Structure formats: structure tokens, C-alpha cells
Amino acid sequence: MPTGTPTPRVAFVLGGGGVLGATQVGMLRALLEAGRRPSMVVGTSVGALNGAAIAADPSAHGVEVLAALWTALSDSGMFSGSLLSQAGRLARHRTHLHSAAPLRRLLGENLPERFEDLAVPFQCVAASIERATAHWFSTGPLADAVLASCAVPGLLPPVEIGGEHFLDGGLVHSIPVGRALALGATEIYVLHVGRIERPLVPPKSPWDLGLVAFEIARRHRFVEEMSTLPPEVRAHVLPSGEDNAPLISLRYRSTADVASRVERGYQATAAYLAGLPGADAGGRPDADAGGLPGADAGGRRAAGANGRPASGAGGRSGADNAGRPAADEGG
């Protein structure tokens, strides 16, 4: 009869965040360098793009390909164009400022053709307009599904697949931890873009009120799913390395900070992994330590808020021992 600790089913969960999603490239590099390979990948919005790329090749080389894709996105000018040309497109289509053609072309050139061609099982989510619900893609053409998940309202047009129209997956799942649980994950690495590290405070202006209301709508599902994780599931909310990630980025066309965001995400996550109990200096699970990677002698996950190991803690990263999000995480 088999004995010992069962092999964990490791999920990489990638949230949305537009151009801030470059942070996830650095996080992925740190995870894979530390020998943390996913059994499954789930993503939403820009996390669907990053997730599909790493599911195609979950290796250091795959991260290099993904970084090159981000460079191509920067050079493609997909969000370029004069105010006059944008106004003309908005007048013609009335729903979006930019064409999806450049992004569709890059996805077709850099991703496998179908979900079935990926090295690791991958799912991404988009919001169905007709059914007003989340739709998870797991089979069939890959580029169309990722494009649907990335279709930010107002910036890109809805994507039609099978007679149904889809918008950005972040409308229904900002960080889809619950999907990883439904797929049987027992160890979860949450790759976000830094917004959830910002605590929310009572608003002092109409603009602040709008930001806080929008962030509560975006964040509440993630907070609820994290607070109700089963005790046997280990979850890590990886640190982003961002000191002040904007709740809403109005500079969605700016790619000047892509390289620095990648590096900050890498450094913060590498330091976090190296600090896990049972990990060596490079963040790799110590084969002589026994038990699950990053677990203490009792098999409990020892990780604290903001990616710092918590002394004697048995909770989840960014959560207290009762499973509540830590106060300095902001959810």
C-alpha cells in the first residue's frame, strides 16, 4: 500500500492587470528557476496571455519566449494611434478605441494553435455578454480564447466565438483561485500585479469613491475564495515587488516600465521562495527536508503577508491563521 505524502497538484493562478501584467513574467521566472512547475495553469485577462505562454513551455526557455512576446507587444504599437484616429474608430464602431488585429496576430505567431497542444493543462475565462456569466475555455483554438479573455471593454472589441460574444475575463474573475480549487489543486501560487497589496481606505473625494467601489467589486471574490480555502490546500500570494501599484492604470499604452516590472516581480518572488521553510537558498524544495515544498515539520505552510515567511505560522501567504486576508494585504 503506498505511503508518504501525495504529490501536490500545483496550480499557477494568474490574475488580470493590463500592462501591469509584466510583473507576472518575473514571478514565473522565479518560480521555474526554483523548480516549482505547475500541474495546471488558470488565467484571466492579461493573466490568460501569460498563462497560455507558460502552459505551452513551463521552463526557463518558455519564460524567455514570454518576455520576447512582451517586447513584441511593446513594439507592435497595438495601442498607438493619434487621438484623431482613435476618435474615428470610436465613431465608426461606437464600442472600442483599438483594433484587436495586432494582438490576434501576435497570439497566433507565439502560441500553439489549440489548447490540446499545450504541455500543461490550461484554462482561461471570459465574460459572456449574452449569458451574463463566466465562460471557461479549455479546448479548441487557443488564440481566440485568450483574445476573448483580454478584451478590455472600451479598448478592444468583444470577441465572437461560436455565435457568442465575450469581454474581458476580469469582469467575472479577477484572480480565479476558485477555478484552481475546482480543478483539484492542492498547492496554489497566486500571481497578481500588486493591486491586492494596497489596503483600501475610506474615500475622501468622488474620484476615490469610484476607485474604492470598483476595487471592491473586482477584489471581493478573490478575498472570499482565499478566506474559505480548505485546510489541506496550501496557497501562496506571491509578492509583486510593487510599492504602489495603481488601482486603475490610465497609462495603459505605456510600456516603458515593462522591463523594470519584470525584474521587480522576479526579485520579490525569488526572495519569498528562498524564505520558505524546507527550501534551499535558490527557493528550491530541499529534498532532505521531507514533506511538502515550503512546509514545516507538521506539513503546515509557513508564510506571512507581503511574501515574508511567518515565524511558526500555519496559515496561507497573505492570510492569518483563520484564513482571513492579512490587514496589510488589503485582500
For residue 154, the cross-strand partners are 96
pLDDT of res. 187: 97
Say which of 39, 57, 149, 168 is annotated catalytic: 168
290 pLDDT more than 70: no
Give the mean model confidence (pLDDT) for residues 3-12.
81
Cα–Cα distance measured from residue 200 to residue 319, given in angstroms and rounded to the nearest whole number: 16
Q: Per mean pLDDT, which range of 145-149, 164-168, 195-199 is the poorest?
A: 195-199
Identify residue 30 by its one-letter amino acid code: A
Take residue 83 and report the three cell numbers written for it. 487621438
The pTM (predicted TM-score) of the whole model is 0.81
Say which of 45, 128, 240, 317 is annotated catalytic: 45
Take residue 25 and report the three cell numbers written for it. 513574467
pLDDT of res. 19: 84
pLDDT class for 136, splitting at 50, 70, 90? very high
pLDDT of res. 73: 79
Give the mean model confidence (pLDDT) for residues 181-189.
97
Length in residues, the chain: 331
Q: Per mean pLDDT, which range of 27-31, 83-87, 234-238, 314-318 is the poorest?
A: 314-318
Q: Indicate if 45 belongs to the active site.
A: yes
